Structures are given as C-alpha cells and as structure tokens.
Amino acid sequence: MQETIFEIKETQFEKDVRKGLTDFPKHLSSKYFYDQKGDAIFQQIMHMPEYYLTGCEYQIFKEKKYEIAQMFAVGGQPFKLIELGAGDGKKTKVLLQEFVHQNLSFKYQPIDISHHVLEGLEKSLLEEIPQVNVVPKQGTYFEALKELSDENRMRKIIMFLGSNIGNLLDHQAILFLKDVQKLMNTNDLLFIGCDLKKNPQTILDAYNDASGITEAFNKNLLSRINTEMDADFDLDEFKHWEVYNPETGTAKSYLVSKKAQKVRIGLLDLTVNFEPWETIHTEISQKYDDTSMKRLAQESGLEICDEFTDEQRYFKNYVLKTVR
C-alpha cells in the first residue's frame, strides 16, 4: 500500500511560537512585534512623553550634526552610510540634510526587514532631500550584512540607532557585533545608539506608559498569532508587566495570564495551557553604561573612539572602530 505524506513546512515564526509556548518558562521573541500594526504602534510609542529614547537621540543629532558629519567624512573622503533597521528615518534625515549642506560625497543604504517601510522612506527622501543617493536593501540585518560586499572599498559607516541593540542579550549582542566587525575595514566606523542606565523609575515609565500604548504593542504579538495562526488568545485575559533591574540594566517585558486558561493555536495543532499568573517573556531592553559598552566592544574586536550624548545624559551614540 502506498501512503502519501504531506509535509507542511512551518515558517520561522510558527516554529518559534511552538518552541516558545511549549518551553518553561514561556517566551516569544520581540522581533515578531513588527507587523504593519506593530510598526504603527511603535510610531505611537516614539511620540509618548514617557518614551524619552527617540527624543534624546534626535537631540544629539540636531546638536552634534556638524561634528558627526565631519567625523564620517574625515578629510572629505566619500563614504557609504549603511543603516540597520532604518524605520522612518526621522533622525537620520537630520544627518543626511547636514551631509548635503556640507556638500559631502556619500551614498545612503537603509536596510529594513519591511518593504513597506523602505518604500515609504525612499519616497519621503525623494520629496524632502532629493540630493541623496539612496540604495535601499530589504532583509534581516544578518542577510543584508552578509551581502554587503566591499564595493570599490568605499569607506563604510554602519549605523544602528535607537538602542535596537538592547533587544539582544549580551552574548547575542557580542555575536552580532563580531559579525559586523568582520565586515569592517580599518577605516570603517560603527555608529551605535545606546540607552543608558538612569533613574530606574524613568526607565520603568518608558515601558509602562499610563495610556496603555506599550501594553497594546506587547499584546500585538498575541493578536498576530490569532490572525496568522488561527489562535484564540483573549487579550483581556493577559496583563502587560514590566520589570527593570538596576543592577544588570535589563528591562524585561512579560504577558501574564490572569487566570488558568487554554489557548488553541489551530495552524500549529497545539493547545497551550496556562496556570494562573503564568508568564510569557516577550522582550528585553538592555540599558548600558561606559563600562558595559566598553566590555561589549572589547569582546567583539572593537574599540570606542568617540561618543555623543544629550543634555540629560540619558542616551549615547558610541562610535566604534575595529581593533586592527
């Protein structure tokens, strides 16, 4: 007798959901926050009074744009600005405008996982700063980085803003920085935005806003699973919870089950059981200081050669180069 076996391939998202919700303790990755709805909620987050990160980095760019531009183009040499996770480019446009103003020779290569985001960025740049030579690239950081060939060895400035690195645990951050380091020539720079340790209350408030926008952002993960995997998470039966540990500088987000409940995920043919007050860990947002940043750099074959901070010293942009 012949038997036909239908093998249905699971996407990475599906695999990760299965793994994360059958593990103990349960977890889901924050990289899945960003579907179209998640992108829109993150835009709202950046405008919240409690979420100081974006405003601080914007202030640094506004105030230090001259020095930053001079550093990128030392001696007037042409450079390629590669931005990992470009988003709407609001902060980067401050720099691009300054480069144009100083008549620098450069290319801008935004890399983002979302086609939608890249198209929006390219279109707005064409309207606002048409002088910029934009070469967008769609993909994950790693895919895109691997493909970054050494086009005629033009000096590369790799930008990673918004404390996006904070979503990685230290050992993952080091692996990531090592990957970047391997692609860097002696002359290249890594320009990286890091949120700093500060009053723990200020940090907690940034991830636990009064209006519930961060809660909606966190719960969007469950809502994505509902729509994309035919699941029945009741969002009202989960609570957004944020903790910040000032000793380690780690902010962690959770979704906590308010009661004993079972959730059915049709597409995965999986029933997930929740005990009362059981957690799903969803995000880490690491906060840094000079010592921890220096350590990350050192372990990745990089060294800090310059830095820029805002008036309140809430945020820092570190400039790294490869150690020979």
Question: How near is the Cβ of 30 to ligand AVJ at its closest, in Å?
Answer: 7
What is the rounded distance in angstroms from the CA atom of residue 223 to the CA atom of residue 221?
Answer: 5
What is the rounded distance in angstroms from the CA atom of residue 202 to the CA atom of residue 205?
Answer: 5
- Evaluated on CA atoms 256, 258, 261, 262, the torsion sign reads negative
Per-residue 3-state assignment (H helix, E strand, C coil) for 117-148: HHHHHHHHHHHHCCCCCECCEECCHHHHHHHC
Position 44 contacts ligand AVJ (CB under 6 A): no
Stretch near ligand AVJ under the rule CB under 6 A, chosen from 132-140, 162-170, 173-181, 309-317: 162-170
193 is written with which tokens? 């935005």
Q: Residues 6 or more apart from 6 whose CB is under 8 A from it?
A: none
What is the number of the residue whose Cβ is closest to ligand AVJ? 285
Burial class (CB in 10 A: 0-12, 13-18, 19+), 6: exposed
- What letter represents residue 196's amino acid? L
Position 282 contacts ligand AVJ (CB under 6 A): no
Position 163 contacts ligand AVJ (CB under 6 A): yes
| Intra-chain end-to-end CA distance of the chain, in Å | 65
Which of 57, 166, 220, 252 binds ligand AVJ (CB under 6 A)? It is 166
Question: How near is the Cβ of 45 to ligand AVJ at its closest, in Å?
Answer: 5
Question: Is-contact 109 132, C-beta < 8 A?
Answer: no
Question: Is-contact 157 287, C-beta < 8 A?
Answer: no
Burial class (CB in 10 A: 0-12, 13-18, 19+), 127: exposed
Q: Which is nearer to ligand AVJ, 114 or 164 (CB)?
A: 164
Question: How near is the Cβ of 6 to ligand AVJ at its closest, in Å?
Answer: 38
Question: How near is the Cβ of 131 to ligand AVJ at its closest, in Å?
Answer: 29
Position 164 contacts ligand AVJ (CB under 6 A): yes
Backbone angles phi, psi at 51, to 5 degrees: -90, 90
Position 140 contacts ligand AVJ (CB under 6 A): no
Q: Which is nearer to ligand AVJ, 30 or 257 (CB)?
A: 30
Show the site string, 206-235: x = touches ligand AVJ by CB under 6 A, - = not. -x------x--x------------------
Question: How near is the Cβ of 178 to ligand AVJ at its closest, in Å?
Answer: 20
Stretch near ligand AVJ under the rule CB under 6 A, chosen from 126-134, 159-167, 172-180, 266-274: 159-167
Question: How near is the Cβ of 47 to ligand AVJ at its closest, in Å?
Answer: 12
Total residues in contact with ligand AVJ, by rule CB under 6 A = 12
Question: How near is the Cβ of 64 to ligand AVJ at its closest, in Å?
Answer: 20
List residues near ligand AVJ by CB under 6 A: 45, 53, 162-164, 166-167, 207, 214, 217, 283, 285
